Amino acid sequence: MERLPSDIRGVLGSLVEDLRAREEISGIGLFGSRSRGDAVPGSDVDLLVVDRSDFDYEYVQRAQVDNLFLDLNHMPEKWIREGVPPEIDQKLYEAQVLYDRSGTLERGKDLISNIYLKPERVEIRTGNYLVEADTYLSRGLSAYNKDDFQSAKVNGLIGLDAIMKILVEVSRLPISNSHFVRAVESSTKRVGVGRLYSEYVHIAGWSEVSRQRCESMLDSVLAMWKVASVFVEDNSQKVETLHVRVMKDLRYYGKDSFMRGLAARASSLINDGLFGEAAHYVFRTSVSMLENCLWLVSALEGTRLDYTALLQHLRESKALPNEIYQRAVEALGIKEVSGREAEESLSRTREIILGVRKKRKELIVSLLS
């Protein structure tokens, strides 16, 4: 906390006091860029909120105090008490404990601090990324076979991100949505496969992004959000019938403070000349927003959400304003994707996944043992 500016410390102090008065809250920790010390103008404040309520998922609440944006990342206390899932390792590892009613958060942090960089734990986390990469590649191939080349490209790029996370992990770098492209560049150099970075940004298109293109993508996602937030609000009764995690995610993305925070963070990256990073940040955030919006669309239409054909669903939906699709393809940089482009992207992504799969255990042993 001492490294934080005094105004942020003041906001956090008041917020922690408010949260600790709630019986169900047993712990609060600061994680992310503010904890690591690499925050920049526009960075959010990320809080880990350990909750004793009976649920089995993570969800995020958005708060704003003056011009400071805060994300309250709720997770069940039983996850820390009964066996920490690897998906929350980094959050616990980075956490500065601000409040701990019974010592559970501190014990969880100590546990993860002791095993975080152990080869066995890294193998578990990177194994999960490998499964994620395979899953999205499979979705991309399925979309391609349906002639939905836009969805094929999107799924392929998410799968490519997943395999790059393995290199970031073995290089002992944090995974962050707004530092990801730079982390990939650093990690590929560290493990001696610098050419993969060039391929990664080429396949994704991040190497060709200009300031003007970034600003256009940001304008598109802002316009998309405005229409989507009205759509969600107009169907608020149906939102209440969705799975509670989807409902909470829709509320999170629907907040005006969320979009203002996104715009501030993306603008900061653009102003720093990090155009590829800004484009990646807008891309990944847009996909997450759209997936949650499509859960609502599927409920309204009485259909099952097909992750392999997200863009086709957006385009063909009768329940959703067509402007959302039009703005989405602009925000994602996929307005025009040919079958050849999608095929080449998926083919090279598959080769990269196979290559990293073969080297994964060797890299873990050589870099972390």
Q: Look at residue 111 in the predicted model and tell me its pLDDT.
A: 96
Helix axes of 119-145 and 339-368: crossing angle, nearest 10 degrees:
170
Q: Look at residue 2 in the predicted model and tell me its pLDDT.
A: 56
Both tokens assigned to 98: 């601000």
End-to-end CA distance of the chain: 32
Q: Hunting for tokens 């990469």 — which residue is that?
A: 133
Q: Look at residue 83 in the predicted model and tell me its pLDDT.
A: 87
The amino acid sitting at 278 is: A
Instruction: Please say whether the beta carbons of 36 and 90 come within 8 A.
Output: no
Q: Look at residue 67 in the predicted model and tell me its pLDDT.
A: 81
Query: Domains of the chain (ranges plus CATH)?
Result: 6-115 (3.30.460.10), 117-369 (no CATH)
Give per-residue pLDDT as tens, 209-247.
999 999 999 999 999 999 999 999 999 999 999 999 999
- Residue 139, class by beta-carbon neighbours within 10 Å (0-12 exposed, 13-18 middle, 19+ buried)? buried
pTM, whole model, 2 decimals?
Answer: 0.94
Q: Look at residue 345 in the predicted model and tell me its pLDDT.
A: 96
Give per-residue pLDDT as tens, 311-340.
999 999 999 999 999 999 999 999 999 999
Q: Look at residue 5 in the predicted model and tell me its pLDDT.
A: 67
Instruction: Please say whether the beta carbons of 222 and 259 come within 8 A.
Output: yes
**DSSP element (H, E) containing 353:** helix 339-368
Both tokens assigned to 357: 């799969």
| Strand arrangement of the beta sheet that strand 25-31 belongs to | 59-65, 68-76, 45-51, 25-31, 96-100
CB atoms near residue 246 (< 10 Å): 19
Helix boundaries (H) for 6-148: 6-20, 33-36, 77-82, 89-94, 104-115, 119-145
Residues of the chain with confidence (pLDDT) below 70:
1-3, 5
Of all residues in the chain, the percent with pLDDT exceeding 70 is 98
Mean pLDDT of the chain: 94
Give per-residue pLDDT as tens, 80-96.
998 899 999 999 999 99
Q: Look at residue 42 in the predicted model and tell me its pLDDT.
A: 73
Strands 45-51 and 68-76: parallel
For every residue of 285-348, DSSP letters joined together read: HHHHHHHHHHHHHHHHHT----GGGHHHHHHH-SSS-HHHHHHHHHHTT-SS--HHHHHHHHHH
